[in-house]
Structure 1
Amino acid sequence: MGRIDKAINIDDLKRMARRRLPRIMFDFIEGGADDEVGLNTNANAFRNIRLVPRYYIDTSGREQRTTLFGRTYASPFGIAPTGMAGAFRQDAELYLAQAAREMDIPYLMSGASNASMEQGAKLAGKNLWYQIYGARNRNVAADLVKRAIDCGLTTIAVTCDVPVSSNRERNRRNGFVRPLRMTLPTILEAMLHPAWVINYYRSGGLPMMGNWQPYAAAGATPDQVADLFATQTPDPSQTWAELEAIRNAWPGKLLLKGVMHPEDARIATGIGVDGLIVSNHGARQLDMMPSPLDVLPMIRAAVGPDVPLLLDSGVRRGSDIVAALCLGADFVLTGRATLYGATAGGLAGVRKAVSILQREIDLVMGQLGAVNLAALGPQFLVETVRAEEERRNSAAMVARR
């Protein structure tokens, strides 16, 4: 049995990834903003959910396939964007793309990826989605949309929750900033992870940001392309007009990623987006945000039952995915879980991460008494059960008077 095969949950893959990576790299994956309160907020939101099962229901034919935007996927979750994944393991984004196609789930490639969307589309086909960050040069977003059309992509997501750079103190302490500052302690600690160091330098060091390379000067180095990205994004002058321009240029399904306020959800759907990703960017932007899980019911109430709602940030278990579906999400994305897998074991690691989550979803559905995803809903939440029982008891008391 291989090392990856021994992982029984996502935390096992996380520990394997931590052992492989120098601290400067692992902290980039794991860190949040400011005091990192948001990381605990996201985790605790899921930990505080309580699901109430129903028994003596035939769940022997459990099915977790789900349809989104007219396409049926093997499971109700996909791979969220995680930037610079190729720095953690060479070709990590290509492993994510290949696994997405093999396991029939979508992969939302990061706007800060190392592999290009063209490379990803060759491996993932229709399972590849692409994330767009607004750039100061408006022609960049327009060209990215054109490239997505040329690649045959069906879905893109515009990220709205990075108006300015965040204060990621772990990265600043470690020197993971532009330009990269490798201190002596950082270098010495990195030498404790020789497999990563050897692979990193053998592959040429900092990998190219493939989607941004066309917008740099001919012959630009990976560092120069990364500097271009850093000068172009984030763009604090972005407004709803930029989203409207993308909507007008893009013929496929359009998601807005990072929605946390009901009024923003209403405006976005009024512009014509096809769905929303409720997300706080994995707690990497504004530290004092609520969790997406906490605002999800408000967003659902604001847009009604017909607008597809996706959720990401803090998802580590199949039970987290089921909880989000019960609270009103139509689909879930997870970034760090599959990135741990890619970092720890390449393609085999991504496959393992996806299969772990699929197995956990299946077991939770069986425990709850849900034979398929349509059977999930607020009736399994303890708050709903309590409110219904209180209503019944009040009605009974009135009837006895």
Structure 2
Amino acid sequence: MNIQSAHNLEDVRQMARRKLPRIAFDFIDGGADDELCLRRNREAFQQHRLLPRYLVDVSKRDQSTVLLGRRYSSPFGISPTGLAGLFCPDADRLLAQAAAQANIPFLLSSASNGALEDIAQVAPEHVWFQMYCTSDEKINADLVRRARASGVRVLVVSVDVPVNSNRERNKRNGFSRPFRMTPGVVLEALAHPAWVLRYLQTGGIPMMRNWAPYAPAGATAAQVADLYGTLTPAPMVQWGHLQRIRDAWPGPLVVKGLMHPEDAAHAVRLGVDALVVSNHGGRQLDAAPSPLEVLPAIRAAVGDDVELILDSGVRRGSDIVIARCLGAKFSIFGRPTLFGAAAAGAAGIERVIRIVRNEVDMVLAQIGCASFDQLHPGFLWSPGTPHATRAAPAPEVQHVEQRVAVPFP
């Protein structure tokens, strides 16, 4: 099926399902335990309603957004996703290129298959680097050094993986270290011959190149993956680790994964510039609330000046608009672009970005908001409150025409 026939992100997901063997698809698609958190992330958006406003001039619409001092063409970016090369050869490079073309950020995972130094050169203005603190302080410091030497402007520290979670789909499929291609896995995979052929041609599980420098010379991809597994997760990581990174990193520092308002406020006191409110896509604590549920409390705890980015569960342009109304300046998502890469490579990633960009544009027009930056809680319908009867004042749009409208490629 042609990727251009995908009308929404679920269409792309289903195309990827047909291309990937179950062991690979489930690695992307699955969550922890009973996967209640996965559903909760989507249901949280479904609890909100956007209130249409008409008879407003929305002939020129602008969804560009300034985040951490840089204007991006759309209010969303690509979340960090590890092992992307398993689903599409050279996926990290393709994701970086697509982000640069669309003028949105791409958060390169430290568990990527492409090396930080290489991917940063592909899109130097759009690649952020995401890292986990390991049990080795020297490696932590070296990851920060490498990001700085590679010209990365924004460093993201993920803090929400103190231990490996119970991802039962992966266990049932045998996706664990050491990776085992059991007879059952092989038999099911044969129904996806193109993927199997690529897997064999590229030598199996791709190398985690960011970790190869810390392994013995000549280490195989499996040996490097095992090293990564000994260094992370690191349950001993504390606030002091984050403080040392803040002291060493001269640019914008983002922390990903804090869900408690007190933790968010403490991170800001340490000098963190922005927060990604995330439950790791429902892949860590199945009983956790959705980021959208805790977003207003985190906004109240950190104040209006701290930039908040929402991650987990974003599947529609309306989700991004709702998140903005509740206090998130920006949103990111990872599964859809991985599915796009698996379905059709670069064209699949570009299709995902185009779908979401067009949805954001359409929603802005429907609610009478010519500029994404003008969104506020008054665009949400809240039955039973005075706000609901008044709704929001008609947006002032005169100055919007003076801004450069962002074309939709």
Residue 166 of structure 1 aligns to which amino acid in structure 2?
S
CA–CA distance in 2 between the matches of 1:66 and 1:384? 30
Match of 1:43 in 2: 42
Does structure 2 retain, via aligned residues, the 8 Å contact 1:67–1:73?
A: yes
Higher mean C-alpha displacement, 213-222 vs 176-185: 176-185
CA–CA distance in 1 between the matches of 2:388 and 2:205? 58
Does structure 2 retain, via aligned residues, the 8 Å contact 1:120–1:128?
A: yes
Does structure 2 retain, via aligned residues, the 8 Å contact 1:327–1:378?
A: yes
1:147-185 superposed Cα distances (whole Å, 9 cap, x missing partner): 111111110110010011101011011000001122211
Match of 1:232 in 2: 231
- Mapping of residues 295-306 of structure 1, within 5 Å: 295-306=294-305
Percent identical pairs in the alignment equals: 55
CA–CA distance in 1 between the matches of 2:120 and 2:374? 34
- Deviation, 1:142, is 0.6
Partner secondary structure for residue 259 of structure 1 = coil
1:36-73 superposed Cα distances (whole Å, 9 cap, x missing partner): 11000001111221111111110001001111111110
Partner secondary structure for residue 339 of structure 1 = helix
Q: Is 1:208 paired with 2:217?
A: no
CA–CA distance in 1 between the matches of 2:323 and 2:369? 15
The 3 A distance-change label for structure 1 pair 137 and 5 is same
CA–CA distance in 1 between the matches of 2:191 and 2:305? 52
- Deviation, 1:387, is 3.5
The 3 A distance-change label for structure 1 pair 259 and 384 is farther
CA–CA distance in 2 between the matches of 1:337 and 1:20? 14
CA–CA distance in 1 between the matches of 2:384 and 2:369? 16
- Deviation, 1:386, is 3.3
Residue 202 of structure 1 aligns to which amino acid in structure 2?
Q
Residue 377 of structure 2 aligns to which amino acid in structure 1?
P
1:185-205 superposed Cα distances (whole Å, 9 cap, x missing partner): 111000000000001110111
Residue 91 of structure 1 aligns to which amino acid in structure 2?
D
1:256-308 superposed Cα distances (whole Å, 9 cap, x missing partner): 00010000001100100000000000000000000000000000000000000
Q: Is 1:165 paired with 2:164?
A: yes
- Mapping of residues 163-202 of structure 1, within 5 Å: 163-202=162-201
Partner secondary structure for residue 284 of structure 2 = coil
Does structure 2 retain, via aligned residues, the 8 Å contact 1:379–1:385?
A: no
1:114-152 superposed Cα distances (whole Å, 9 cap, x missing partner): 111111111111100010111111111110111111111
Match of 2:329 in 1: 330
Does structure 2 retain, via aligned residues, the 8 Å contact 1:156–1:253?
A: yes
CA–CA distance in 2 between the matches of 1:341 and 1:49? 27
TM normalised by structure 1 equals 0.96
Match of 1:366 in 2: 365
The 3 A distance-change label for structure 1 pair 371 and 35 is same
1:309-368 superposed Cα distances (whole Å, 9 cap, x missing partner): 001001111111111111110111011111111111111111111011000000000001
Q: Is 1:278 paired with 2:277?
A: yes
Residue 76 of structure 2 aligns to which amino acid in structure 1?
F
The 3 A distance-change label for structure 1 pair 117 and 385 is farther
1:85-105 superposed Cα distances (whole Å, 9 cap, x missing partner): 100111111100000111100
Residue 88 of structure 1 aligns to which amino acid in structure 2?
F
- In structure 2, the gaps of 5 or more residues are 392-409
Match of 1:52 in 2: 51
TM normalised by structure 2 equals 0.94
Residue 201 of structure 1 aligns to which amino acid in structure 2?
L
Match of 1:98 in 2: 97
The 3 A distance-change label for structure 1 pair 175 and 307 is same
- Mapping of residues 18-37 of structure 1, within 5 Å: 18-37=17-36
Match of 2:60 in 1: 61
Q: Is 1:266 paired with 2:260?
A: no
Residue 347 of structure 1 aligns to which amino acid in structure 2?
A
More helix by percentage: 1
Does structure 2 retain, via aligned residues, the 8 Å contact 1:10–1:356?
A: yes
Match of 1:112 in 2: 111
Does structure 1 retain, via aligned residues, the 8 Å contact 2:154–2:253?
A: yes
CA–CA distance in 2 between the matches of 1:276 and 1:172? 31
CA–CA distance in 1 between the matches of 2:383 and 2:256? 28
CA–CA distance in 2 between the matches of 1:235 and 1:241? 14
Does structure 2 retain, via aligned residues, the 8 Å contact 1:313–1:334?
A: yes
| Aligned residues: CA RMSD | 1.3
- In structure 1, the gaps of 5 or more residues are 393-401
The 3 A distance-change label for structure 1 pair 263 and 192 is same
Does structure 1 retain, via aligned residues, the 8 Å contact 2:110–2:130?
A: yes
Q: Is 1:153 paired with 2:118?
A: no
The 3 A distance-change label for structure 1 pair 340 and 389 is closer
Match of 1:395 in 2: none
The 3 A distance-change label for structure 1 pair 79 and 385 is farther
Residue 140 of structure 1 aligns to which amino acid in structure 2?
I
How many residues matched?
391
- Deviation, 1:389, is 4.8
Residue 71 of structure 2 aligns to which amino acid in structure 1?
T
Partner secondary structure for residue 382 of structure 1 = coil
CA–CA distance in 2 between the matches of 1:362 and 1:390? 26
Q: Is 1:123 paired with 2:122?
A: yes
